[in-house]
A and B are shown apart, each in its own frame.
Chain A
């Protein structure tokens, strides 16, 4: 599926925040790795990539072998190399931190090897002997891509459904462009699917165009990786004014086309999670001069990563802590936010009202949860919009599995990959044991 994105998009103005390593720098950095036993970096990686082993291969001039080691554990290793919060995962666990020496730049080394794998078209994996079993994957994001690749290695036929016209899910539409741009995610997805045997049905909205339960007529198992839904709204007067947008919605617009920032000088982002921090950094990078993050809690309690927030501050973002918006105001378009300070229990403090002028407000206070889509299927439990699964991604309904944001509530790409691969192996075991949806046999209710 070719990416049909415009060549000129707002995100194309961004350069990489973390630059790639030159081959010489990669070799030198790889040479520093201590090759720890039972390495903390491996433990910290949700996909348990054998990091010391792939780094040793780079150190010894075997980039191809390094890529193989990475991709064996994480088929989206190229994306993860760029988008993982390595500061709190592998790099954060590097023992050099305790020596007060710079930790190994694991993400950059992983990028060094996996960029070559994608760009030079290295292939490592073959489809397994056909089993005759068919698996549907709902959603084309990282969880489904990883699950599909693993299922193909195990010989199961796969069909991926997605309501969009392109692959990659939020990895394509939601990654901060200083980490990765949309076309890179799509290129990687196409590379993953070169394993063959994956039928793509895009533009199909499962649950609307096709009833979920109907998948059981065609498939022996179903993996649900539908991610999260639309941005949550604030429930505040004026939130439908032009100029008030969901942050995820705006980020997608910025990545796939024009960010619509003409005339925008002042922007406020409501929330302090990682989506909020991405949005404020992107607004500054796109030359919005006054960018403010508005958060009801304190800096210590913010949901976003501290290292990302530090970078935002360096970029000139300001924050207003312990305050909430009470109204979005403007005649035909947003002009200002009415705000009020709140105390520790988030109760408004009388007399603390203030106004923030803004041409644009982005709401980054969470996304709706799509789990309810599955609520009608017996055996599947949905709590607070999240699909309940066991450690193997099993939902409780024979043949039905889930992973990624719809099942974990919204984590990293690497978590989605890990959950997709785990579920794929569990599906394989269930099918091998004669289980599944029962496509070949009696229907269940």
Chain B
């Protein structure tokens, strides 16, 4: 059986599934129920000077009838007294000594950091996560993403945390930056043991078209919130991978952003995450979603022959390349398996209106014809096709040796003739 135990930055966990710092990790009773359900670890709801929240706080983005495909919130850090939080951390650790609790922290001054770190460790926290990511409410007060967007501030506060902490320090990064790498590097210079990303994305989730007010609505007003949920996964995957492949970086990563099943988790792991954190899927469906995540990961590892989580981590990073290093002479065309085709002709509409006009309806059959001489191998038809095994992208041997754009520009490598560019 595959071994699901893992670690990120020295924080060991029986499995890679952690609750992200968020409402599902708000209290001891919740975190203990989560551990009962099988979660590996929990990043406690961010501790700091307790705040007061508004109602309402959450907004959902439904896509094609799927509620909560995207999600946002305008909730702030913990609103519960610090001593209650610390007491519950201690109680939870006593019952679950092997499941890591990571204290997410957000305060302002050096002295406040010293104080809250000491109390967190005293309560039994296995690690710290510095919340440099929250994009609403706290950043206006000079915390959260206001820190994460300034590498110098990030580095300074991270170094304070290292100075005061006896447990591993993770820095949680905000995606509300144009390039994630300098921010990861700042955390590294500050001495972080690892990073977690992404925090939520600055967003307006929706607008109430009857009241003319954005959502979530607080009386007659709204404000921007943090976007998360399944729909943000592609952005998160890119930022995780951008750091994982950065030669000078090398810190462990706890991946966050749209993980809703084992498959998402595997993707984060293949791009360099040694643990993943989950919030939205738990908020939508509860702690027991972890059963499928654990079981699916185990089945995947068994089917691929991976013994340990670490065998997967970063396995797709070598294949994450720059555009200029892609083989321009690699050629594919779409092929339709007529016996699997159901004649919906979604490919015809997609190719004609959205691609290169090379899929054509035919007179005496609903099965379309592909003009391979014009097909640029874009994948669009395969993406829209609802019939399993119908459209495949087939490699074409065009007789050209591999050649990248960079090789072409720098060394005069020969590129195949363009297709569909007339």
Closest chain A CB from B73 CB (angstroms): 25
Interface contact A35-B65, CB-CB below 8 Å: no
Binds B, one of A36-44, A224-232, A313-321: A36-44
Residues in chain A near residue B65, CB distance under 8 A: 27-28, 31, 59
Q: Are B349 and A37 in contact (CB-based, < 8 A)? A: yes
Asked if B344 CB lies within 8 Å of chain A CBs, one says yes
B342 at interface by CB-CB < 8 Å? yes
Question: Does A98 contact B342, Cβ atoms closer than 8 Å?
Answer: yes
Whether A90 sits at the interface, judged by CB under 8 Å, is no
State whether A40 touches B348 (Cβ < 8 A): no
- The reply on A210 being an interface residue by CB < 8 A is no
Residues of A within 8 Å of B414, CB to CB, are: none
List B330-366 residues whose CB lies under 8 Å from chain A. Answer: 342-346, 348-349, 361, 366
Q: Are the CB atoms of A36 and B64 closer together than 8 Å?
A: no
A34 at the interface (CB under 8 A from B): yes
User: Is the Cβ of A95 less than 8 Å from the Cβ of B342?
Assistant: yes
Residues in A whose Cβ lies below 8 Å from that of B346 = 34-37
**How far is the CB of A104 from the nearest CB of chain B, in Å?**
11
What 0/1 pattern do residues 21 to 32 of A give for CB contact below 8 A with B? Answer: 000000110010
A30-74 CB contacts (< 8 Å) to partner B: 31, 34-40, 59
**Interface extent on A, as a size class?**
10 to 19
Question: What 1/0 flags go to A234-249 for Cβ under 8 Å of B?
Answer: 0000000000000000
Contact A99 B348 (CB under 8 A): no
**A95-B342, A98-B343, A99-B386 given; A37·B348 CB < 8 A:** yes
With beta carbons under 8 angstroms apart, the residue of B344, B348, B361, B366 that contacts A34 is B344
Contact of A37 among B64, B342, B345 (CB under 8 A): B345
The listed residue (B64, B342, B343, B366) touching A31 by CB distance below 8 A is: B64
Q: Which one of A27, A34, A40, A96 has the highest number of Cβ atoms from chain B below 10 Å of its Cβ?
A: A34
Within the complex, the shortest CB–CB distance from A168 to chain B, in Å, comes to: 37
Number of interface residues of B (CB under 8 A): 13
- Find A59's partner among B64, B348, B361, B387 (CB 8 Å cutoff): B64
Give the residues in chain A near B64, CB-CB below 8 Å: 31, 59
Chain B hits for A96, CB < 8 A = 342
Tell me whether B342 and A38 are in contact (CB under 8 A): no
Residues of B370-389 contacting chain A, CB below 8 A: 386-387
In the complex, how many angstroms separate the beta carbon of A185 from the nearest chain B beta carbon?
Answer: 34
Say how far B352's CB is from chain A's closest CB, in angstroms. 8
Report the minimal beta-carbon distance from B187 to chain A, rounded to whole angstroms: 43
Which residues in B have their C-beta under 8 angstroms from that of A38? 345, 348, 361
The CA of A31 and the CA of B361, in the complex, are separated in Å by 25
B366 contacts A40, CB within 8 Å?
yes
Which B residue sits closest to A43, measured CB to CB?
Answer: B366
Q: How far is the CB of A122 from chain B (nearest CB, A)?
A: 20
- In Å, the complex CA distance between A37 and B353 comes to 11
A38 to chain B, nearest CB (A): 6
- Closest CB in chain A relative to B362 CB, distance in Å: 11
Q: Please, which residues of chain B bring their CB within 8 A of the CB of A37? A: 344-346, 348-349, 361
Q: How far is the CB of A362 from chain B (nearest CB, A)?
A: 42
Which of B342, B343, B366, B387: most chain A CB closer than 10 A? B342
Closest to A29 in B: B65
What separation, in Å, do the CA atoms of A101 and B121 have in the docked complex? 56
CA distance A39 to B64 in the complex (A): 20
The 0/1 profile, CB within 8 Å of B marked 1, for residues 95-137 of chain A is 1101100000000000000000000000000000000000000
Give 12 A-B pairs besides A36-B343, A36-B346, A37-B349 with Cβ atoms closer than 8 angstroms.
Answer: A27-B65, A31-B65, A34-B346, A34-B386, A37-B344, A37-B348, A38-B345, A40-B343, A95-B342, A95-B343, A95-B344, A98-B343
Query: What are 14 A-B pairs with beta-carbon distances under 8 A?
Result: A28-B65, A31-B65, A34-B386, A35-B346, A37-B345, A37-B346, A37-B349, A38-B345, A38-B348, A39-B344, A40-B366, A95-B342, A95-B343, A98-B387
List residues of B whose CB falls within 8 A of some A CB. Answer: 64-65, 342-346, 348-349, 361, 366, 386-387
Per CB-CB distance, the 8 closest pairs between chain A and chain B, nearest first, are A37-B349, A37-B345, A98-B342, A95-B342, A31-B65, A36-B344, A95-B344, A37-B348
Query: Which residues of A are in contact with B by a Cβ distance under 8 Å?
Result: 27-28, 31, 34-40, 59, 95-96, 98-99
